[in-house]
Amino acid sequence: MEILSFRMKGKLAHFRKYYANNTAFSFSIPPRTTLMGIVASVMGWDKDKYYEKLSSDNVHFSIRVLSPIKKSFHRLNLLSIKHIGDLSRKLDSDFRGKGEHIQTPFEIVSGLDIRNEDVEYQIFIKPSKTGIKVFEEIKLHFLNSSPVFNTSFGIANFNAAIFDILILRNYSLKKIIDNFVTLHSEVPTKNILAINFNNEITDYNFIEEDLFPAEFIGNENRELKKMNRLLFSTTNFPIEVKLLSKFYSIQTEDENINIVFIDE
């Protein structure tokens, strides 16, 4: 079975945590629901019409961080909207600035050096037994056509480019319980038996864990169906873990990488 791989790069990213109310926190990596949206934008599928096509019953996702990332808070100078007012008059409305402005915190994902470095991920897509038709449709479009809609990292202003699209066939499925595995992708926390943190690589903690939205109940219904608790590296350094599950060992022209799919 083939695996579709592509890379995405952009200057800034914001993957809003759905439970944040008055402060816009961001995930460090795009959740599975965001990956679904990225694929749908490339394909040109209608909004809220692709949830069932890209459900975990049909398609599996994996993500790898390719460049060190950090998160920082910034202030957005937004209009303070409290009253609609009379829009027919020139300035008699908060929408025209009468209510002045309000500074709102906003968390942004960027490279360690925001001027010179980008946010870059590698995304892997694999079909299930029932999702081969959907996967073939996605594969052919990615290989032969340009994105129908603009691709971004979370919000429309944070443009992201897709490049290095590959079809991976040279891989094997392995399971190693007794020894540590060098893993390049995220991994569900429930599949981890032990973690080995190598202080010789860096003197700061580059491993994060978070609870991510996984998928929606169905088309037109954005109620969450399930969540995934994932462990991942915030740098291009892989993590060393003992796994309870199988992993994919993929051989490319440049390297050998080990990944786990989020919801397989």
Task: Decide: residue 231, CB within 10 A, 0-12 exposed, 13-18 middle, 19+ buried.
Answer: buried
Give me the torsion for CA of 14, 3, 40, 123, rounded to 10°.
10
CB 79 within 8 A of CB 246: no
Question: Can you tell me whether residue 189 is helix, strand or coil?
Answer: helix
* Contacts of 125 by beta carbon, 8 Å cutoff, 6+ apart: 3, 4, 5, 39, 59, 60, 61, 135, 138
Q: What is the pLDDT along the chain (264 residues), one digit of tens a residue?
A: 899 999 999 999 999 998 766 668 999 999 999 999 999 999 999 999 999 999 999 999 999 999 999 999 988 888 777 777 665 666 677 777 777 788 888 999 999 999 999 999 999 999 999 999 999 999 999 999 999 999 999 999 999 999 999 999 999 999 998 899 999 999 999 999 999 887 666 666 789 999 999 999 999 998 899 999 999 999 999 999 999 999 999 998 889 999 999 988
CA distance 154 to 253: 31
pLDDT of residue 80: 79
Rounded Cα distance, 118 and 162, in Å: 13
pLDDT in tens, 103-136: 888 999 999 999 999 999 999 999 999 999 999 9
pLDDT of residue 81: 78
Strands (E), the chain: 3-10, 15-16, 26-27, 59-65, 69-79, 101-111, 119-127, 161-168, 171-174, 181-183, 187-188, 192-196, 207-218, 221-233, 239-243, 247-251, 256-259
pTM of the model as a whole:
0.91
Fold of 3-259: Alpha-Beta Plaits (3.30.70)
pLDDT value of position 202: 63
d(CA 3, CA 12): 27
Q: Are 195 and 233 in contact (CB under 8 A)?
A: no
Beta-sheet strands, E only, within 219-255? 221-233, 239-243, 247-251
What are the structural domain ranges in the chain?
3-259
Look at residue 18 in the predicted model and tell me its pLDDT.
Answer: 81
Q: What pLDDT was estimated at residue 87?
A: 59
Q: What pLDDT does residue 203 have?
A: 60
| Residue 26 identity | S
Closest CA to 118 of 149, 73, 84, 159: 159
For residue 45 the two structure tokens come to 């599928």
Q: Give 14: exposed, middle or buried? Use CB within 10 Å, 0-12, 13-18, 19+.
A: buried
